[in-house]
Amino acid sequence: MTVDRSQVLRAAATLLTRKATSSMDEIAKAAGISRATLHRHFAGRDALIKALEDLGLARFEAALDAADIDAGGAEEALRRLVAQIRPEAPLLAFLTTENQLFEGEMHQGWDRLDARMTGLFQRGQESGEFRVDLTATWFAEALYGLIGAGAWAVHAGRIAPNDMEQMIAELLLGGVRRSME
């Protein structure tokens, strides 16, 4: 009976990613609850967005922890990270596309997140696994972009949900070009 806040937030993220101007009423319908209940859980639209950001950051941090990104090879660590991110893709896609969040004061959590992400790629560069002619910062941004692209492609039916993880990891790691074996 009691509303699952995170489930509501996921539904909101999915809807807002497609249509950022959705009204609270549309969000409530998408979440399968009434507008009154939505307002009981989130004071207003701003509070909803904020909760969305907090949840997304928490899930991203959790994915980084669960992937144990400091262990083993950087490539394998990255694969584990993408695997952990997969179920949270719609949520994270919203965060990375809604730059509105950064207009005011950027959420402090992003700094830490970016640092961990960049650190992973830097580790790969230092170990010789990753190329050094592109910046680790760009690698992190590219991963964000590919998560969004993957979530959209799945939503649009262009790729199978189960393939998303591999599609993102393989493209990010190896690119489009055919490797010479």
Partner DNA sequence: CTCGTATGAGACAACAACGTCTCACGGCGT
Partner DNA sequence: ACGCCGTGAGACGTTGTTGTCTCATACGAG
Interaction site with a copy of itself (CB under 8 A)? 17-21, 75, 78, 97-100, 102-103, 121, 124, 128-135, 137-139, 141-142, 144-146, 148-150, 152-153, 155-156, 158-159, 167, 170-179
Task: Tell me which of a copy of itself, DNA, none is bound by residue 41, counting a contact when its beta carbon lies within the kind-specific cut-off of 5 to 8 angstroms.
Answer: DNA
Phi-psi region of 13 (alpha: psi -120 to 50; beta: other; left: phi over 0): alpha
Closest contact distance (angstroms) between CB of 36 and a copy of itself is 23
Closest contact distance (angstroms) between CB of 104 and DNA is 15
Cβ proximity to DNA, 32 vs 87, nearer residue: 32
Cβ proximity to a copy of itself, 57 vs 93, nearer residue: 93
Residue 126: count other Cβ atoms within 10 Å of its Cβ: 12
Q: Are 54 and 65 in contact (CB under 8 A)?
A: no
Q: Are 45 and 24 in contact (CB under 8 A)?
A: yes
Task: Tell me which of DNA, a copy of itself, none is bound by residue 7, counting a contact when its beta carbon lies within the kind-specific cut-off of 5 to 8 angstroms.
Answer: none
| List of residues contacting DNA (CB under 7 A) | 1-3, 23-25, 32-37, 39-41, 43-46
Distance separating alpha carbons of residues 142 and 130, to the nearest angstrom: 14
Residue 141: count other Cβ atoms within 10 Å of its Cβ: 15
**∠ CA 20-26-28, rounded to 5°:** 115
Q: Which two tokens stand for residue 108?
A: 């402090």
Closest contact distance (angstroms) between CB of 77 and a copy of itself is 12
Task: Tell me which of DNA, a copy of itself, none is bound by residue 35, counting a contact when its beta carbon lies within the kind-specific cut-off of 5 to 8 angstroms.
Answer: DNA
Closest contact distance (angstroms) between CB of 78 and DNA is 38
Closest contact distance (angstroms) between CB of 1 and a copy of itself is 32
Phi-psi region of 72 (alpha: psi -120 to 50; beta: other; left: phi over 0): left
What phi and psi, each to the nearest 5 degrees, are found at residue 78?
A: -65, -40
Cβ proximity to DNA, 31 vs 147, nearer residue: 31
Instruction: Assign 29 to helix, strand or coil.
Output: helix
Task: Tell me which of DNA, a copy of itself, none is bound by residue 94, counting a contact when its beta carbon lies within the kind-specific cut-off of 5 to 8 angstroms.
Answer: none
